[in-house]
Amino acid sequence: MARPVRCVIMRGGTSKAVFLREADLPQDAAERDRMILAIFGSPDRRQIDGLGGADPLTSKLAIIGPPREEEPRAAGTHLTYTFGQVEIEHPEIDWLSLCGNISAAVGAYAVYEGLVVPRSPVTTVRAFNTNLNRVLTIEVPVEGGRPMERGDYVVPGVPGSGARILIDFADTAGAATGRGVLPTGRPVDVLEVPGLGAIDASLVDIGNAHVFVRARDLGLTGTESAARIDADRELRERLERIRGVAAKRMGLIPDAARSREDSPATPILGMVGPPADYTRDLGGGMVRAEETDLVARLMFMQQAHKTYAGTSTVCTGVASRLPGTVVHEAASRPGAHNRVTLRIGHPAGVIETESVVEQRADGEIRVRRATLGRTARRILEGTVFVPEPAAAVG
């Protein structure tokens, strides 16, 4: 007999996730994962028998639990948040990464669910993220005790506009690798990639672990459409080999050849280039070079990202403040480094992030501010029916 489980579906930025309560899931990790896969309808390319959207950006999960008082880092937080990237065609869930888009929805969810006392005009939600064991500070516009959804803030890749939710990821610096913002201590590493040879890469860790390469080193401009990148199988294979070598160099996996199996979501790979004109993938129209400080394209879950990931936004911003990185180099147009805000040209338009980074004389890097603006909307609240035997509770 199918087991009923309460769920909420929310959009956060350019992603969508199923929200579940920690108390409604089995305590045993294997049983929990089987239940989640059944809820999403994985493994199946269409996820036809579940709530998954058959796309990496809509096959996401947020598990919400009470504050963990025993965890020193969680002091003063309102909730515990675990992010899961649910595989579509494989019976796997990646628990190593964090989604910035869905983190915005977590803030709104906390207000809707009464996990924080609402205060107008802005309610600050402190969420302890278990993926990185760090705290996210989320500022949610509130009116009448409810999150505001209407507003004039536009997120490229999302229809219409909404109220801006601001997330500060500064506390996540160095969390994915445990080795600091620059895990190897260098702004640029030379990676020896099988079948490709040596390639310059900047390995940066904030929000999620990332590897950035110059688009031109791959014969690209950084203005390619997601469809064009996905259609080039040989290019995607080369990019995955780069990502695998970077993952091993950052200490995330022991074997670069197993990057797809052992860590499919992180590090995220970014290809960057100087500002250039290009046509938007979504909605058409031109993005002019003068509207951006750099252009970038991402590989996420072995596919080209249709917009730009939230954690990648803040990581790109921080990397642009670190002299010597390929991101800093791409954003070196006169005046770009004098501003707190970085403008990133991506397939759907332009996204901005604010970054404040201090580099001490002893080489230590401290991130004081790393923000992302997003909108969020509550789409559905209801019951999902989990078929046996996945519904078994441990």
Provide the domain count of the chain. Answer: 2
Decide if 306 contacts 296 (C-beta within 8 A): no
Decide if 133 contacts 80 (C-beta within 8 A): no
Q: pLDDT class for 391, splitting at 50, 70, 90?
A: low
Q: How high is the pLDDT of residue 392?
A: 58
157 with 200, same domain? no
Q: How high is the pLDDT of residue 336?
A: 65
pLDDT at residue 60 greater than cutoff 70: yes
205 with 72, same domain? no
Q: How high is the pLDDT of residue 360?
A: 84
Question: Tell me: the pLDDT tens digits for 61-98?
Answer: 999 999 998 888 899 999 999 999 999 999 999 998 89
136 with 267, same domain? no
Does 307 fall in a domain? yes
What is the domain extent for residue 312? 189-369
Phi-psi region of 282 (alpha: psi -120 to 50; beta: other; left: phi over 0): beta
Does 176 fall in a domain? no
Mean per-residue pLDDT, 327-336 = 84
Phi-psi region of 154 (alpha: psi -120 to 50; beta: other; left: phi over 0): beta
74 with 125, same domain? yes
Mean per-residue pLDDT, 262-285 = 92
202 with 55, same domain? no
Give percent of the chain with pLDDT exceeding 70: 98
152 with 232, same domain? no
Mean per-residue pLDDT, 340-364 = 91
How far is CA 84 from each of CA 130, 161, 357, rounded to the nearest angstrom? 11, 27, 29
125 with 154, same domain? yes
Sign for the pseudo-dihedral over CA of 327, 298, 84, 122 = positive
39 with 138, same domain? yes
Question: Tell me: the pLDDT tens digits for 104-148?
Answer: 999 999 999 999 999 999 999 999 999 999 999 999 999 999 999
Does 393 fall in a domain? no
363 with 281, same domain? yes
Q: How high is the pLDDT of residue 394?
A: 46
Q: pLDDT class for 58, splitting at 50, 70, 90?
A: very high
Does 392 fall in a domain? no
Rounded to the nearest integer, the mean pLDDT of the chain is: 94
How many CB atoms lie under 10 A from the CB of residue 335? 7
19 with 159, same domain? yes
Q: pLDDT class for 283, splitting at 50, 70, 90?
A: confident
148 with 285, same domain? no
Question: Tell me: the pLDDT tens digits for 301-317?
Answer: 899 999 999 999 999 99
Question: Tell me: the pLDDT tens digits for 164-196?
Answer: 999 999 999 999 999 999 999 999 999 999 999
pLDDT at residue 6 greater than cutoff 90: yes
Burial 202-214 (b: 16+ CB within 10 A, else e): bbbbbbbbbbbbb
105 with 196, same domain? no
CATH number reported for the structural domain that contains residue 10 in this entry: 3.10.310.10
Give the N- to C-terminal CA distance of the chain in Å, as an integer. Answer: 16
